[in-house]
Amino acid sequence: MMNEVKAKIVGLCIFSSLVLSLSYSCKKEVNNFRTEEQFVSIAKYISSDTTQFNIFFKMIKEGKLLDALSSYNPNGKSYTLFLPTDSAFYAYIKQNNNYSNITQLLTDHDFINVLVRYHVVNSEFRTNDFPFGALPDTTLSGDKLTIGFSNDLDTTIYKVNNVAPVINANIEASNGYIHIISKVLEPIVFSSYDLMKLNPDYSIITKALDTTGLKDKMGFYTTNDNGNIIKNIYTMLVEPDSIYHKSGIYSIEDLISHVKPINGNYSSEDNSLYQFTAYHILDGSYFLDNFENSVNYNTWASLPVRVDASFIIKINQGVANFGTIISGKDTSIINYIEPNYNESNILSKNGPIHIISEVMNLYKPARSERIYEFYEEPLIYNVKNVVNTYQFTMDKFTVLTWQGVNEIKYIKSSSNAEMSTNKDYIQINGDFSISYNISKLLPGRYSVKLMANAFSQQNAIIQIFIDDHRVGGNVNLTSGGTSKNPYYEFVLGEYEFSTYTTHIIRIQSLIPGNFIWDYIKFTPV
Amino acid sequence: MPTQRFNNFKLYTVLTGILLFTGSCSEYFNLTPPDGLVLDEYWKTKEDVEATLMGAYQQFAKMDENLFLYGEIRADLIIQDNNTPADQRNIISGNIFATNSLCYWGDFYKIINHCNNVVKYAPEVLKIDKTFTEFKMEAFMSEAIFLRSLAYFYLVRIFKDVPYVLEPSDNDNVNFFPPKTSGKEILSNIKSDLKEVRLKIPTTYNTIEEIKGRATQAAVDALLADICLWNFEYDECLTYANNVLNTNSYFLQPSSKWFELFFPGNSLEGIFELQFDSQNGQSNSLYQNTYVLNYYEASTYAMDILFPLLSQEIIRGRGSISSESKGYKIWKYCGGAPDQNTVRPGSISGSCNFIIYRYADILLIKAESLSQLGRYDEALTLINEIRRRALMEEVNSQNTPESFEDLILIERAKEFAFEGKRWFDLLRMGRRNNFARKKKLIEIIVQNVPSTQKLVIASKLTDPDGWYLPVSSSELESNPNLVQNPFYAN
Amino acid sequence: MWKNYSIPESSGFDQLKFFNGGKLENKGWEASFRYVIVQKSNLMFSVSFNLSHNLNSFLEFPDNFNNIVGSTIANGEYPRMAQLGQPIGSFYGFNYLGVYPTNSDAVAHDAEGNVKMDSNGNPIRMTFSNGYKFQGGDARYADINYDGVIDINDVVYLGDSNPLYTGGMGFNTSWKKFSLSCQFLFRNGFDIVNEIALKTEGILDKNNQGKAVLRRWRKEGDNEPNMLPRAYMDSPANNLGSDRYVEAGDFLRLNNLSLEYSIDKELAQRFGLDMFEIGINLRKIWTLTNYSGQDPEISQSIDDPYWFGTDNGITPTPAVYSFYVNVMF
């Protein structure tokens, strides 16, 4: 009996220990199963395609950009990478005489650093966002890239810097977009003059730049009125030799007889050869999509160039009758100069170069309305497309100066409720006096209009002076706007400019307060 | 002991037997959800059929704003105003992404689903409801087929290739994930559907709202003519256009009464109009959007061709665009009189019908077909008839198809401005003869666009696939069998 | 099994109220036995044991199922997901690694552990998906894909609310007039999200917090083990759904213990009773568990495919001590 019981107990214990050990030994596998990533990072995309992008991947590692391209963009929204294929690099080596093979290229650390950064833009752009001109944001190396369009029957081919066709676009990555290009983008190292000099098709205009001495003013840097050294930014409109030939000009001597100067002192500013040549250089950087309609653009000569950019860009419309086109039953007269769309937007360190269709002689256009929105100030011009609030102190500014307050703000907004032109304005608060050095405008009588926020009780009451002459009465900024649109265009009066020169607008607070300034406008009367 | 065991055995068998039998009755597990009407309880009377059919009409009416936008927003007669919604601004500026709300085609498919239901179940109801005549059933089914075909005609012109759904979504086993069918195939199918129902559909109804608001034989002919014109089948188009002319029930409004097309609507000239009546709670959306909310303004081109001071268009200009003080707004949906100033009275502000076809449209469709067939004199007569009615001088033109095409395009722009037709007219021109005049379409569109955008938009329009909208991204996600329009595929 | 399931608009509808799509599998086994060890006239001893094991997993999803859409990552939220091969009741979240002692520690690292630099050579700061840059004192989560951002791509599988084994055991014994029975319940192999801790240790709103928050990060350089992140009103990411609040819920519980004495029949009849029994019954008097919350016995929901077990501090069933008397007339 006891043995039976003992046996039963022993059996029971064995059985239960077996079961218990079974249950405790099967530990649940810890599964670090995670969600599948929808998109991989740019770096991962490049490294995962070993057939096409080996070389660029090596360059990223060499140029210390691997970390950045595998993470989010801490200095901007996302990245846009223009990714050259391996065959693009082989073509580059062949064409370029500095390196005999890829390995040698990879040893030039400084160049690689700049080269890889030159292919990455600091924002995200899909082909839908491509402008016909420069991308609004810079590359990681601080330069701008341009996009050209060429329409081929049924498709559009995008060309970066007008040289590198995009063969596969809009590849979405977790930290930006990738567009694959079939040529390597070379960082710009030439000035506009250098580019002209290197190209034998532009010998006549280059000779003119040499003869007039303008070439010395076309370097990378220049000195501004305050004595500061700033980047030398200008736009060139040039004619190739073939266009000169059409007008019977085959050499620099022919050009000289075409412009009929008084004397041989070609480097003097009064000399008509100097004026003719300087007329081809515009102040500021304007890609083809930056030209606005019915605006006079200042040049290095004593007259501006007039551009009407509606459907087609017309330069100096009315200057001469160049011909007619008949299409269907429409007959249109060509009395303007046009840029060559497929070959313009050429990048240099100074700005774009555009090729034009006719010889551009000096022409005094009708006065145009001028709106001044502080874009002459390089610091503001560089950020005018990037939404943010900027605080500036005066030591960095060249065109705007102020007293009475320490800093001013430049605000660029993206909200639909923002009613200022281009959604940007400057703001200054207190008992201030601010001076704005506006660029040249053609002499004549203008109606002066000031656009500012006029809806808040905190706003100031201001007085406006042009070249130290009082214009208009006291402007009360506390009333005039509405709750929907707080901006109001105050008509200050009329002012007559006697010379084609720069002017200083000074605005002073009579009763201190807030001043939100959108623009100042001059309309010819 | 054995008996005991045998009794037990009997007991157990009986018990298991009972369990097995009860387990096989699955009726216990068929439960209907407590809320919601179940399918077989609904389709019982002819009123049920008519109710679903009316649902389709009503759904069409809800889309008045979208039908307006699809026909105008990418064209050159309107520009954005202060409050234009962001999605619409994006389309106007050429930034069309698959996330845009205008790529949502669900509203069209709701109409199609209602119509599919009618087509499938009306014959079933015929068997049940003794008061339902076969004649009436065919009439209802024809109306449903007309609405379904109209919806597909819009879809093909907007998206090019779309899923072609003919079965109603009435149970879980329906294929919810159909792939795209080519637009060409869809159009050929709806054409044969329409040809079949032409004779079964009523020619008239009792009330004026029904005559103009429900599908009639003339509406079917008008739609057939439009489809044939879209397919460039000119002779066939003439047949159907002539059918409408020969009914002698539709006439051009007299010049002085041109604005009665819109206020009060349902005029002699209207063939098919989406009906609205604010006093009965059926208001349109266009009054609010064009007049109150400042969504759109007439473009420079529209002003050039229509504004009375610039174009001498007295009749049509005064009725199409409001005065400067009112902001150059679209006048057809908010005006109370053709004087560019008097707004509709408040009680009927949202009552303006949305006209889909009217007699003048048929005349110009006929003129377009005639001119493409080389019958220029006949075409010119029709064009001048329209112009005479608008109190404009008669025109003449060179006898080439392109000249006439340009002439008709302008005349249509002036006559049907803001009626949701312009973009489709332009697409027709662009597609004709294998895209021979594609450049002209690009030129026309680009004139309406700000200067920084012109070159960009011109490039975007070089690929004809870009003339259509992308499939909405949410639809692509929920239907793995759909592929995106190749222009937007990246 | 899905509610309000999205379907293509080409059907004429945008949602199905109820949709039976996909496949779910449940498989397992159950075992129970009862063994009488001793059976004598005045002594009886038997033991019983039962055990069940069930695994369920998603076998198939409907054609257009998107398991990432609808997942939010925010303070206090565990993203709702369903994965093939994983059971209903599995939950996902971030891997919590402690607290950044200083600002300069809150930088991104690559797979080898090196600090990542941006294009200008500066270290890349860790950010949360809404752009917030992590600082000293903030919670540190594992950056699974090393991209410098804590977002939905860093979510990992954290645990399973379904127990691996559920079972019970007990014994029953009687000796002369006494009888004693005892029943245990155990569940093991499951995890619980301790929502109470989540709400009382987050330090990001105005609710009462537990004592644990006294040992939180206060200034740059603080680096105590097990310290909590800093107090930061409306902090964007310091209380995300992570394994910080996930605990094993395995428990062994003495569910039922009763001791009974049956009085002699003759003695009872003297009082005019046919039967007289007294006893005590103790329920839920002892639990062995590592779970730090109130009660690891969580109820399971069956109508939500995204359900997982959380302890919301619902009042648990109480321990009951009762004394009873059974009489029969």
- The tens digit of pLDDT for each residue in A325-363 reads 765 545 678 888 988 877 788 888 888 999 998 898 888
Asked if residue B157 is part of any domain, the answer here is yes
Whether A41 and chain C come into contact, CB under 8 Å, resolves to: yes
Q: How many CA atoms does the CB half-sphere of B459 hold within 13 Å?
A: 23
ipTM for the whole complex:
0.75
Specify the pLDDT at position B1.
Answer: 52
Whether residues B176 and C18 touch (CB distance < 8 A) is answered with no
Better pLDDT: A138 or B404: B404
Structure tokens at A119: 């292919």
**Closest alpha carbon to A397 in A224, A182, A280, A233:** A224
Whether B312 and chain A come into contact, CB under 8 Å, resolves to: no
B443 C-beta neighbours (distance < 10 Å), count: 14
The 3-class secondary structure across C70-137, one letter per residue, is CCCCCECCCCCCCCCCCCCCEEEEECEEEECCCHHHCECECCCCCECECCCCCECECEECCCCECCCC
Give the separation between CA A325 and CA A171, rounded to whole angstroms.
42
Give the separation between CA A438 and CA A432, rounded to whole angstroms.
19
Whether A25 and chain C come into contact, CB under 8 Å, resolves to: no
Amino acid sitting at position A381: Y
Note the pLDDT tens digit of each residue in B73-86: 999 999 888 788 98
Nearest to A74 among C37, C53, C124 (CB): C124
- pLDDT of A266 over the 60 cut: yes
Q: Cβ distance B187 to B157 under 8 Å?
A: no
Amino acid sitting at position C255: N
Look up tokens 């002085």; give the residue.
Answer: B256
Note the pLDDT tens digit of each residue in A78-120: 899 999 999 999 999 888 888 888 888 888 888 899 999 999 9
Nearest to C64 among B104, B116, B177 (CB): B177
Whether B38 and chain A come into contact, CB under 8 Å, resolves to: no
Specify the pLDDT at position B28.
Answer: 52
Taking CB atoms within 8 Å and a gap of at least 24, the contacts of A377-383 are A378/A230, A378/A231, A378/A233, A380/A410, A380/A426, A383/A410, A383/A412
CB pairs under 8 A between A and C: 105
Report C:81-120 residues touching A (Cβ under 8 A).
Answer: 81, 83, 85-86, 92, 108, 110, 116-120
- How many Å lie between the alpha carbon of B456 and the closest alpha carbon of chain A? 6
- Rounded (to 5) percent helix, strand, coil in chain B: 60, 5, 35
* SS3 category, A298: coil
> Considering only CB atoms, which residues of chain C are within 8 Å of chain B?
6-14, 16-20, 63-64, 66, 69
C-alpha to C-alpha distances, A516 to A16, A59, A486, nearest whole angstrom: 85, 47, 10
Give the separation between CA C88 and CA B6, rounded to whole angstroms.
48
Amino acid sitting at position C162: N
Minimum CA–CA partner of C68 in chain B:
B477
pTM exceeds 0.80 for this model: no
Give the separation between CA B435 and CA B447, rounded to whole angstroms.
20
Specify the pLDDT at position A36.
Answer: 63
Taking CB atoms within 8 Å and a gap of at least 24, the contacts of A29-33 are A31/C86, A31/C157, A32/C156, A32/C157, A33/C83, A33/C85, A33/C86, A33/C156, A33/C157
Positive or negative torsion for Cα B289, B291, B292, B296: positive
Structure tokens at C45: 């001893």
Look up tokens 């077909």; give the residue.
Answer: B369
Specify the fold of A42-181. Answer: FAS1 domain (2.30.180)
Specify the pLDDT at position B16.
Answer: 62
Residue range of the domain that includes B105:
44-201+458-490
* SS3 category, C306: coil
Specify the pLDDT at position B24.
Answer: 46
Give the separation between CA A56 and CA B82, rounded to whole angstroms.
47
Specify the pLDDT at position B31.
Answer: 59
Specify the pLDDT at position A35.
Answer: 58
- How many Å lie between the alpha carbon of C217 and the closest alpha carbon of chain B? 44
Answer whether A42-181 and A370-524 agree in fold: no
Asked if residue B430 is part of any domain, the answer here is no
Least confident of A72-76, A260-264, B446-450, C210-214: B446-450
- How many Å lie between the alpha carbon of C8 and the closest alpha carbon of chain B? 5
Q: Cβ distance C169 to C50 under 8 Å?
A: yes
Asked if residue B346 is part of any domain, the answer here is no
Name residues whose C-beta falls within 8 Å of residue B192's C-beta, 6 or more positions apart in sequence: none
C-alpha to C-alpha distances, A290 to A152, A284, A310, B458, nearest whole angstrom: 24, 11, 12, 17
- How many Å lie between the alpha carbon of A316 and the closest alpha carbon of chain B? 17
Structure tokens at B302: 């529209």
C271 C-beta neighbours (distance < 10 Å), count: 9
B116: CATH: 1.25.40.390
Note the pLDDT tens digit of each residue in A423-473: 899 999 989 999 998 888 889 999 999 999 998 888 999 999 999 999 988
Give the separation between CA A379 and CA A399, rounded to whole angstroms.
10
Q: pLDDT-derived band of residue B381, with 50, 70 and 90 as boundaries?
A: very high
Specify the pLDDT at position A13.
Answer: 63
Q: Cβ distance B149 to B56 under 8 Å?
A: no
**Domain locations along chain A:** 42-181, 192-355, 370-524
Better pLDDT: B222 or A310: B222
Better pLDDT: C91 or B215: B215
- What percentage of residues in chain B have a pLDDT greater than 70? 91
Give the separation between CA A103 and CA A110, rounded to whole angstroms.
14
Specify the pLDDT at position B162.
Answer: 95
- How many Å lie between the alpha carbon of C124 and the closest alpha carbon of chain A? 7
User: What is the count of structural domains for chain B?
Assistant: 1
Asked if residue B433 is part of any domain, the answer here is no
Give the separation between CA B88 and CA B80, rounded to whole angstroms.
8
**Preceding amide of C79 cis, omega within 30:** no
**Closest alpha carbon to B155 in B486, B462, B424:** B424
Whether residues A71 and C145 touch (CB distance < 8 A) is answered with no
Better pLDDT: C293 or B427: B427
Structure tokens at B426: 């332009």
Give the separation between CA B484 and CA B159, rounded to whole angstroms.
10
Helices B422-435 and B217-230 pack at an angle, to 10 degrees, of 40
Per-residue pLDDT of chain C (329 residues), as tens digits, is: 677 777 888 888 877 777 777 788 888 888 888 888 888 888 888 888 988 888 888 888 877 776 665 577 888 888 877 777 777 778 888 999 989 999 988 999 988 888 998 888 889 999 998 888 999 889 999 998 888 899 888 888 888 888 888 888 888 888 888 889 999 988 888 888 888 888 888 888 888 888 888 888 988 888 888 888 998 888 888 888 888 888 888 888 888 899 988 888 788 788 788 888 889 999 888 888 888 888 888 777 666 667 777 887 778 888 889 998 888 87
**Closest alpha carbon to A177 in A340, A42, A26, A8:** A42
- How many Å lie between the alpha carbon of A314 and the closest alpha carbon of chain B? 12
Residue B458 has φ and ψ, to the nearest 5°, of -60, -40
Eight-state DSSP code of residue C303: S
Chain A residues touching residue B460 (CB < 8 angstroms) = 128, 156
Whether A1 and chain B come into contact, CB under 8 Å, resolves to: no
Give the separation between CA B244 and CA B254, rounded to whole angstroms.
19
Structure tokens at C201: 């240790």
Asked if residue B69 is part of any domain, the answer here is yes
Asked if residue B150 is part of any domain, the answer here is yes
Q: Which residue out of C3, C10, C64 would a mutagenesis test of the B interface target, given it has the greatest number of B Cβ atoms within 10 Å?
A: C10
Sheet-wide strand order for C310-311: C246-248, C191-194, C310-311
Q: pLDDT-derived band of residue B239, with 50, 70 and 90 as boundaries?
A: very high
C-alpha to C-alpha distances, A3 to A8, A11, C68, nearest whole angstrom: 8, 12, 64
Asked if residue B54 is part of any domain, the answer here is yes
Give the separation between CA A488 and CA A372, rounded to whole angstroms.
16
Give the separation between CA A134 and CA A233, rounded to whole angstroms.
14
**CATH (residue range A192-355):** 2.30.180.10
Specify the pLDDT at position C70.
Answer: 58
Please say whether the structural domain A370-524 has been given the CATH code 3.40.640.10. no
Whether A75 and chain B come into contact, CB under 8 Å, resolves to: no
Across residues B120-128, what is the average pLDDT? 90
**Closest alpha carbon to A393 in A412, A411, A408:** A408
Asked if residue B477 is part of any domain, the answer here is yes
Whether B459 and chain A come into contact, CB under 8 Å, resolves to: yes
Residue A395 has φ and ψ, to the nearest 5°, of -60, -20
- pLDDT of A25 over the 50 cut: no
Nearest to A70 among C31, C146, C167 (CB): C146
- pLDDT of A1 over the 60 cut: no
Specify the pLDDT at position C302.
Answer: 61
Give the separation between CA C106 and CA C154, rounded to whole angstroms.
16
Specify the pLDDT at position B483.
Answer: 92
* SS3 category, A210: helix
Length of chain B as a residue count: 490
What are A181's strand-pairing partners? A84, A166
Residue B92 has φ and ψ, to the nearest 5°, of -60, -40
Whether residues B452 and A170 touch (CB distance < 8 A) is answered with no
Chain B residues touching residue C12 (CB < 8 angstroms) = 106, 109-110, 112-114, 116, 165, 168-169
Whether A224 and chain C come into contact, CB under 8 Å, resolves to: no
Chains adjacent to A (≥3 CB pairs closer than 8 angstroms): B, C
Specify the pLDDT at position B8.
Answer: 64
Across residues B34-43, what is the average pLDDT? 67
Nearest to A16 among C49, C67, C154 (CB): C49
- How many Å lie between the alpha carbon of B220 and the closest alpha carbon of chain C? 24
- How many Å lie between the alpha carbon of B165 and the closest alpha carbon of chain C? 7
